[in-house]
Amino acid sequence: MAMLKETLAKQIPGLREEIAALVKEHGDKELSKVTVRQAYGGMRGVRGLVCDTSSVSPDTGLVIRGIPCKDLTEKLPEEILWLLLIGEYPDAESLKTLQADLKARGKVPDYVWNVLEAMPADSHPMCMFDTAILCMEKESEFRKSYDAGVKKTEYWESTLEDCLNILAKLPAIAAGVYRLRFNKGPRIDSDPNLDWGADYAHMLGLPDPEGTFKKLMQLYMVLHSDHESGNVSAFSGATVVSALSDLYYGLSAGLNGLAGPLHGLANQECLRWVLDTREKFGGVPTDEQLKDYAWETLNSGKVIPGYGHAVLRVTDPRYTAFLAFGKKYLADDEVFQIVAKVFDVVPGVLREIKKIKDPWPNVDAGSGAMLYHYGLAEFPYYTVLFSVSRAMGICSQAVIARAMGMPITRPKSSTTPWIKKAIGA
């Protein structure tokens, strides 16, 4: 923590000066205009948010602090966390210190397990996970320091404490949810010698004789970590945090959004669709069979999960990274083979439907097949894995927002009569 906090503390004054000067000199310049279609269309493309941890452009996809997704795949999640917060990778010593710090903060309070055990046995794992985060709110260092009257310029320090305290516990909580919800037996203790992603894999308790499931978890945690700030989970989390609610409130709010089927929950739907094709055709379908099944899905009014994106207009580089992992470690797996075949066939089908702006796979199209291969077959759990990773982005964005002294979020809404009058309709 010391090194992370010190490094941030050195950067923050310069960052504040830069933003203040930018707003002072150019505050009235226009970044974006808003059309009626955008107002009724989920604000797609409206540039009204600031996010410095990562960016997503239609033709490149995820870029974290200037580094494209394809160059992040060999990194550890802790290196990505440092990158998100600081803007560059940690050196070996900083990484070691951060890892030790996370280990030291990793103990989950007993009351969290009591709360989870008291929940109905058929609770959705996402509801359990978010409840666990929210019920730890009393631990918030930000709330304590705010109540004690700390200065606004210091808000980021206790927010960083909350960020690290939460992130350190998420793998154990998420693994605990898995084992409890799916009757996998007692919780498994953290291994002090494993990094954050590999330890999560270890605590899930799935067989991993060659250690490749640990590799997958490291990759999974890296690829889902951040996706700028306009997506539902990041935007909701940031909005709640902007009210000076602490990160326990902000993160759980954001992750509640990730639980929606058009957002993070799509990953559980994707694998289901792939397995349905296998069942229907008794193995890997032919291109023609797959095409027919895609049309059948679309004609019944459903979406093809894992395809399309609100921003991207190319194959999601995170999907490409999973595909490369699959080709390397599970090329013989039938389910993976179907995923690869879907990629060959489905974009051609979706391109025939004019209204669909992006016919290409997103991050969710391939990840489920990898998890399934390693025995993680409980689909409703998949979004929890996504959440553990995305918490890095939401928490980092909150620390930076507090450091920059961002005000409460409050865009203006309009009534339909007002819009009609404004445009003379």
Which one, 171 or 308, has the nearer CB to ligand HAX?
Answer: 308
Q: Which of 263, 316, 358, 373 is catalytic?
A: 263
Handedness of CA 312, 171, 70, 99 (dihedral sign): positive
Beta carbon of residue 353, minimum distance to ligand HAX (angstroms, whole number):
7
DSSP letter for 154, please: G
Which one, 188 or 314, has the nearer CB to ligand HAX?
Answer: 314
| Whether 276 is catalytic | no
CA-wise closest residue to 190 among 102, 130, 73, 122: 102
- Listed in sequence order, the residues at least 6 apart from 308 whose beta carbon sits closer than 8 Å to its beta carbon are 350, 356, 357, 358, 359, 360, 362
Do β-strands 67-68 and 54-57 pair in parallel, antiparallel, or remain unpaired?
unpaired
Q: In angstroms, rounded to a whole number, what is the distance separating the alpha carbons of residues 337 and 390?
A: 27
Beta carbon of residue 309, minimum distance to ligand HAX (angstroms, whole number):
5
Q: Which of 226, 309, 358, 373 is catalytic?
A: 309
Beta carbon of residue 419, minimum distance to ligand HAX (angstroms, whole number):
20
CA-wise closest residue to 59 among 365, 317, 232, 304: 317
Give the orientation angle of helix 247-258 with respect to helix 232-242, to 10 degrees. Answer: 160
Beta carbon of residue 355, minimum distance to ligand HAX (angstroms, whole number):
4
User: Which one-letter amino acid corresponds to residue 24?
Assistant: K
Q: Write the Ramachandran bin of 303: left for phi over 0, alpha for psi from -120 to 50, otherwise beta.
A: beta
Contact in structure between 264 and 380 (CB atoms under 8 Å):
no
Q: In angstroms, rounded to a whole number, what is the distance separating the alpha carbons of residues 361 and 304?
A: 10
Q: In angstroms, rounded to a whole number, what is the distance separating the alpha carbons of residues 343 and 350?
A: 11
Which one, 306 or 317, has the nearer CB to ligand HAX?
Answer: 306
Strand-pairing partners, residue 375, are none
- Listed in sequence order, the residues at least 6 apart from 58 whose beta carbon sits closer than 8 Å to its beta carbon are 311, 312, 313, 314
Q: Which residues bind ligand HAX (CB under 6 A)?
A: 262-264, 266, 298, 303-310, 355-358, 362-364
Beta carbon of residue 269, minimum distance to ligand HAX (angstroms, whole number):
7
DSSP strand E in 234-393: where?
none
Which one, 180 or 304, has the nearer CB to ligand HAX?
Answer: 304
Laid out side by side, the sheet with 67-68 consists of 54-57, 61-64, 67-68
CA atoms in the 13 A half-sphere facing the CB of 224: 28
User: Which one-letter amino acid corresponds to residue 166?
Assistant: I
Beta carbon of residue 166, minimum distance to ligand HAX (angstroms, whole number):
20
Which one, 170 or 310, has the nearer CB to ligand HAX?
Answer: 310
- CB atoms closer than 10 angstroms to residue 322: 27
Which single residue brings its beta carbon nearest to ligand HAX?
A: 308
| Whether 124 is catalytic | no
Which one, 6 or 344, has the nearer CB to ligand HAX?
Answer: 344
| Whether 263 is catalytic | yes
Beta carbon of residue 277, minimum distance to ligand HAX (angstroms, whole number):
15
Beta carbon of residue 262, minimum distance to ligand HAX (angstroms, whole number):
4
Using the CB atoms, write b or e for 368-391: b if 16+ within 10 Å: bbbbbbbebebbbbbbbbbbbbbb
| Residues catalogued as catalytic | 263, 309, 364
